[in-house]
Structure 1
Amino acid sequence: MSRHALLLALAITAAVPGATVAQAGAGQAGAQAPQPAPFTYQEVMVPMRDGARLQTVVMRPRGVTGPLPILLQRTPYGVPDAPFASASRFGPLMKDGYIFVFQSMRGRFKSDGVFTLSTAVHPNDPKAVDEATDAYDTVDWLVKTLPENSGKVGMWGVSYPGFAAAVALAKPHPALKAVSPQAAWIDYWQSDDLHRNGALRLSYATDWVSSLQLDKTKNSDFAYPSDTYDYFLKQGSAEAIDRTVFKGRVPMFTALLDHPNHDAFYTGQRWTDSLGETTVPTLNVAGFWDQEDPWGSWQIYARQKRNDPNHLAQMVAGPWRHGGWQGVADHLGPIPIGTPSGTQFQEQIQAPFFAYWLHGKGPRPDFAARMFQSGSNAWKTYAAWPPAGAKPTNLYLHADGSLSFTAPAAGEGCRDYVSDPANPVPFRRRPMSATYASPDWSWWEADDQRFVDHRPDVLGYVSESLDADLTVTGALSATLQASTSGTDSDFVVKLIDVLPDDTAPFDGQTAQPGDYARTLNGYQLPIAMEVRRGRFLASDTAPQPLVPGKVVAWDVPLRDHDHVFKAGHRIMVQVQSSWFPMIDRNPQSFVANIARAKQGDYVKATQKVCAGSRVTLPVMR
């Protein structure tokens, strides 16, 4: 399934570009007339304050009388072209009854305007239009126009629809009573779709941005003529793609190249800066293994909690890929977790949240944070996030390749490797499929890391087998004491849970070739992975060259997690200097703009990881 098909499924919809208006209950003549669809269907063009009209579909449950609340989803990926044939498309939400509304965002499909991907809001400019004002105007029109609505509106969505729901909080309409931003984002330069801490997400930016700007009337995935790794390596730089492939037809991609630093282009779009007191109940949702937007929903929650006197902001996360919580979610990659965590989220958290705030049904959701904890594979409820019981504990990387909670001895040295931009470390197995090829893309953040752990340019550090469970709950981080022979560099840190060699039964007497590879024995499960770009160590707005050979501290944030390393497992840390083509190659010589680096700028560099390097774990006592 392509990414766009997946997102449409997550939006609980399927779109046909340019579809005409359909009516509920239409069918072909036959011996037995088909049953009427469970929803009525109406397509309308909703006016905005500047005169633009946005394509909007309204579906009301057939046969349900009385005023109903509205559930609104705004999306750039297209709206349904016909009523859903089954009420089960809405899962547990259907039991309570809602008027479902889907809207194509400004500049997409039949909606007027130009789609810019901008996340900026303009709270002090009454004449400005943005995604927050479009959400406000839509809610206003819906409650004033739709017959038999209760005057209460909720918004929800995953990925771009998640952002579109979240940004409505910047200027919420009085009728907006509940919002669930899921896999949303706040800053294109930080740690979601387009960058990781300022390092350009090359392959994803290429695919995703072009699919939204090359043609307003359809979603199309990027066509790779070869191994994706080879394709980007041959292109050389992001500028080459912009110049020879897009030829200026993807304005956002060009803008990313024009703005390599964390300047006003990004901070001016940081819509959460407009948030004041939290007045709208908000269910934030994130996946610990979200391969696209793992960071933003946590930041929305943290910002809301700064001023939340009525405890309206909540956080939910689990061992989920991008949007996986809207499915069954009973596996973490290939690893069974024994529980349908996604189904449970929908039934026990999402549906009750909207039922209480929009219908007044059931008890008020009273938790601060609920996590489906990986490793233990159980739901945990926390009165605050991060929980008070977590103690920061250092796990040290030693020069002999071991990993332990014991600090390095005096005089302990370094390990080194040569990083070659001509042979970067791949982020997935090769030959590498297209970006959105499933299941490769969906679960790459949970891939078995043995595919790189014996490369000479990847350092591995491994602990002894744990004699007891180790629970880490909260924000993880790493600090490398490291140097490079170049004047710029990247370091990637991976925290890995190594499953025992006897995880699954294996009979060596009867085994066939390849059987061991199909078990989970020895599986290296990434728990957290992140990149840090050296030019931004001192400043993300004024990059500086590194001093060759000088050991400095590299702080590497590893985001929030809730995981149990089980007794008998080992902990592993991998360190490398490329992650290609998920992240663009660092030339390892300082240049003004990496996206526009020339062939001669790329040089080999000797990297050293020295005593005192550590991962800091929030260990629960």
Structure 2
Amino acid sequence: ASLPAAHPALKAVSPQAPVTDEFMGDDARHNGAFFLLDNFDFTNSFDVPRPQPLARYEDLFPLKIADAYQFFLNLGPLKNANQPQYFNNRARIWNEYLQHDTYDAYWQARNIRPSLTGVRPAVLVVGGWYDAEDLFGALHTYQAIEKQNPKATNRLVMGPWTHGAWSRPNWSKFGPLNFGQNTAEYYRRTLETPFFNYYLKDKGSFNPAEATMFDTGSNEWKTYPAWPPAGTQPRPYYLGGAGQLTTAPTTAPADEYLSDPAHPVPYTASIQGGRNNEYMIEDQRFAAQRPDVLTYQTEPLTKALTVAGPLGVDLWVSTSGTDADFVVKLIDVLPDSAATRTLYPYASSTSTQRLVRADVFRGRFRNSFEKPEAFQPNVPTEVKYELNDVLHTFKKGHRLLVQVQSSWFPLVDRNPQSFVNISTAEAADFKKATIRIYREPGHASVVQLPVLK
């Protein structure tokens, strides 16, 4: 927030995991879908009134959850969070988040991107590929500065980090992943410290590439003169018949599944009270086994393929209801080999499915985030959106896999699958719906990947 029309004395700024647009992709909502698990926990303490300084954070209500999936399923509709034993209408921010369920003036005023003009200080934007809170923020802060300030000194660093992990003493591993190096120390030694020494103390030099990015498939730092890199070409991957992911459209009929709000797809296989921080890299076989998750995969790659940039999703869908969510995942399927088992200790079969990127889209916003629209039941309808950037090399012998589903619970709140105000919906508003994903010419569902030449 200090960047626009900055005071001349401000020479260098490093936005790190910046909150940029909370309706589109940061903490509160993603593409209009409410991130229930994080916000329920966060606002329980953050929304406590503080008329004077406190020695420690307090909670609005005592909360001990052993199984978040079961807890939020038992909680029922969102409005039940204001029952006396929970928020009881004491949480101003919680109520505002639910009240403002479209991209109205409330959210637009909190989107800093249009204000990132007149940027004069040197900028080093830092984010983590596995930041469950503000991955969107880092990428889009950099993009907004770049677009609106073509002469600004603006650099981007993206590492294999969760929220703020670049400040940890050691970040050489995350869950089952072993990066083979202390990525946090590398960043501080070669980028952050030289950046501030040069611009604040006139010490040394600072001439890194504009974009320093960690390839999450090869475990290597890569540098580029711009982000996304100029040398990418969009490559379509079509959702085909018999679970195939192909580079040419097919004539296969639609796939379908029954989406039941009473049995939503879990976002993780782990039973935890809070968010599983490793869900962004988790093996997705637990989801692939469900009948309400569609899976499409390529043949084993004959050579390595590097994807660099945002991922385009273009689905043709229908629902027997009047609203639906769509979650699309890009997954790296690991071959079973001694080398793979060493690098990825959790690989136990040919079908290990490591999540690379995923996000949700609330279907009512397919034409406008300001003016939601109901679906016409059983009518093929286009839903287009973008998944956050990746830099990931799918190695030779691996497969690309795409999953499609309509719930991601309780990370994301349940869609009633009827066109109602979800914040005030009753239990009776939540209905099963048959979702169809179309694949024929003219209605081909496709994921566009920016492939690095």
Q: Which TM class, normalised by the smaller chain length? A: over 0.9
Tell me which amino acid in the other structure corresponds to 1:304.
I
- Structure 1 length as normaliser, TM-score? 0.68
Share of identical aligned residues, percent? 39
| Pairs within 5 Å for 1:525-604 | 525-591=354-420, 593-604=421-432
SS in 1 for 2:194: helix
TM-aligned CA deviation for residue 366 of structure 1: 4.4
Equivalent residue number for residue 117 of structure 2: 276
Equivalent residue number for residue 310 of structure 2: 475
Q: Distance in 1 between matches of 2:233 and 2:191?
A: 28
| Pairs within 5 Å for 1:127-146 | none
Equivalent residue number for residue 314 of structure 1: 155
Equivalent residue number for residue 204 of structure 1: 38
SS in 2 for 1:481: strand
TM-aligned CA deviation for residue 385 of structure 1: 1.4
Q: Is the 8 A contact 1:392 1:616 kept in 2?
A: yes
Alignment equivalent of 1:615, drawn from 429, 433, 447: 447
TM-aligned CA deviation for residue 238 of structure 1: 2.0
Q: Give CA deviations for 1:53-78 in whole Å, capped at 9, x if unaligned.
A: xxxxxxxxxxxxxxxxxxxxxxxxxx
Equivalent residue number for residue 202 of structure 2: 360
Alignment equivalent of 2:173, drawn from 331, 336, 346: 331
SS in 1 for 2:81: helix
TM-aligned CA deviation for residue 214 of structure 1: 1.6
Q: How many residues are paired up?
A: 439
Q: Is the 8 A contact 1:399 1:610 kept in 2?
A: no
Name the CA shift for 1:584/1:505 in 2 (closer, same or farther; >3 Å).
closer
Identify the range of structure 1 (545-554 vs 518-527) with the bigger mean alpha-carbon deviation.
518-527
Tell me which amino acid in the other structure corresponds to 2:112.
W
Query: What RMSD over aligned residues (CA atoms) do the two structures have, in Å?
Result: 2.0
Q: Is the 8 A contact 1:352 1:365 kept in 2?
A: no
TM-aligned CA deviation for residue 524 of structure 1: 1.2
Q: Is the 8 A contact 1:322 1:442 kept in 2?
A: no
TM-aligned CA deviation for residue 303 of structure 1: 1.3
Identify the range of structure 1 (490-499 vs 361-370) with the bigger mean alpha-carbon deviation.
361-370
Q: Distance in 2 between matches of 1:562 and 1:501?
A: 23
Q: Distance in 2 between matches of 1:205 and 1:520?
A: 36
Equivalent residue number for residue 138 of structure 2: 297
TM-aligned CA deviation for residue 572 of structure 1: 0.7
Q: Give CA deviations for 1:571-613 in whole Å, capped at 9, x if unaligned.
A: 111111000011100000111x112110110000011111111
Q: Distance in 1 between matches of 2:178 and 2:350?
A: 13
TM-aligned CA deviation for residue 517 of structure 1: 6.0
Show structure 2 runs of 5+ residues with no match: none
SS in 2 for 1:619: strand
Equivalent residue number for residue 491 of structure 1: 326
Q: Distance in 2 between matches of 1:237 and 1:615?
A: 32
TM-aligned CA deviation for residue 520 of structure 1: 7.9
Tell me which amino acid in the other structure corresponds to 1:500.
P
Q: Distance in 2 between matches of 1:209 and 1:178?
A: 32
SS in 1 for 2:438: strand
TM-aligned CA deviation for residue 431 of structure 1: 2.7
- Structure 2 length as normaliser, TM-score? 0.92
Identify the range of structure 1 (237-246 vs 209-218) with the bigger mean alpha-carbon deviation.
209-218
| Pairs within 5 Å for 1:437-448 | 441-448=276-283
Tell me which amino acid in the other structure corresponds to 1:268.
A
Tell me which amino acid in the other structure corresponds to 1:179.
V
Equivalent residue number for residue 219 of structure 1: 57
Name the CA shift for 1:188/1:425 in 2 (closer, same or farther; >3 Å).
same
| Pairs within 5 Å for 1:413-428 | 413-428=253-268
| Pairs within 5 Å for 1:259-274 | 259-274=100-115
Q: Is the 8 A contact 1:291 1:443 kept in 2?
A: no
SS in 2 for 1:443: helix
Q: Distance in 2 between matches of 1:416 and 1:309?
A: 46
| Pairs within 5 Å for 1:334-483 | 334-408=176-250, 411-435=251-275, 441-483=276-318
Tell me which amino acid in the other structure corresponds to 2:2.
A
Tell me which amino acid in the other structure corresponds to 2:243.
G
Identify the range of structure 1 (326-335 vs 413-422) with the bigger mean alpha-carbon deviation.
326-335
Tell me which amino acid in the other structure corresponds to 2:327.
V
SS in 2 for 1:495: strand
Q: Is the 8 A contact 1:224 1:231 kept in 2?
A: no
Tell me which amino acid in the other structure corresponds to 1:535.
R
Q: Distance in 2 between matches of 1:495 and 1:529?
A: 6
TM-aligned CA deviation for residue 523 of structure 1: 2.7
Q: Distance in 2 between matches of 1:520 and 1:476?
A: 27
TM-aligned CA deviation for residue 543 of structure 1: 0.9
Identify the range of structure 1 (270-279 vs 315-324) with the bigger mean alpha-carbon deviation.
270-279
Name the CA shift for 1:505/1:229 in 2 (closer, same or farther; >3 Å).
closer
